[in-house]
Amino acid sequence: MSGMDDPGRGEVAVAARGARDDVRAAAPVHLPTWSRLNVAAKQSAPAGNGGDFFEVIQQRDGRVTVVLADVCGNGPSAAAPVSSLRWILRQTIARGEAPGVVLAALNDWIVAQRIDDRFVTAVCVRIDAVTGRAEIASAGHLGPFVKRAGGDAEELPYAVGLALGILPAQTYQETSVALEPEDALVLVTDGITDRLATAGDQLGEHALLERLARARHGSESICGALLGADARATEDATVLVMQLPRRHRRATPVARAG
């Protein structure tokens, strides 16, 4: 992972560039102290590059916008349009747009460019680490999921939107959810869930939730549980985890005697 060269208007950004042909170790992304989110990611891709990519951008008001996207296909052919997609995505987020607006802008740009008739699934989340409020918009993407501080795992509610690049002028509704201190928000691409799919669980959601519930708490531990070091890079796969900080407790003044 590497920092963005020109995030714009004082925002701080962290981006994952092309994944190597091995499974990349989960490395925490330390955002400025006012966000206090603990962010980690892990990726794999065949032949060194893939169509999965993500952005983590913190804005001046302290909120953090996260986008995880998956270009249809695998390997270098899917990776080809990623640089252009990332550029327009950064420009939109840097303006402070809401998640639904971010996805709508990216969709219109993809349709106008006619990028190899490809479509892109994506999920955009804007998190306020102070209040725990998360705003979610989805374009045909699975999840997001959450591992609660108490250990339970669940899929968060979200409004279903059409994948990017299919039809112009799409509207992406937003859903607002409340997260508690130390809850971990988990975003994955289908390269994670496809490996877990069975005849009775064709999308792999139930298996992912079971594995997530068993995982040790912490962003890096969750990445390792969903994309282990033994995973083969036969298809693009990405997991991105953002864990909220602990709740600060104010010290209670001690009454003085006399």
Query: pLDDT per residue over 41-74, tens digit each?
Result: 988 877 666 678 899 998 888 899 999 998 875 5
- In this prediction, residue 143 has a pLDDT band, given cuts at 50, 70 and 90, of confident
pTM, entire model: 0.82
What is residue 84's three-state secondary structure?
A: helix
- In this prediction, residue 81 has a pLDDT band, given cuts at 50, 70 and 90, of low
Question: Do residues 96 and 7 make contact, with C-beta atoms less than 8 angstroms apart?
Answer: no
Q: Is the pLDDT of residue 12 over 80?
A: no
CATH of 2-243, one of 3.40.50.450, 3.40.50.300, 3.20.20.70, 3.60.40.10: 3.60.40.10
* Cα–Cα distance measured from residue 75 to residue 73, given in angstroms and rounded to the nearest whole number: 7
* Cα–Cα distance measured from residue 203 to residue 110, given in angstroms and rounded to the nearest whole number: 26
Q: Is the pLDDT of residue 166 over 80?
A: yes
Give the torsion sign (CA, 67, 246, 207, 216): positive
Angle at 214 between CA 210 and CA 216, to 5 degrees: 140
Query: What pLDDT does residue 77 have?
Result: 53
Q: What is the mean pLDDT of the chain?
A: 79
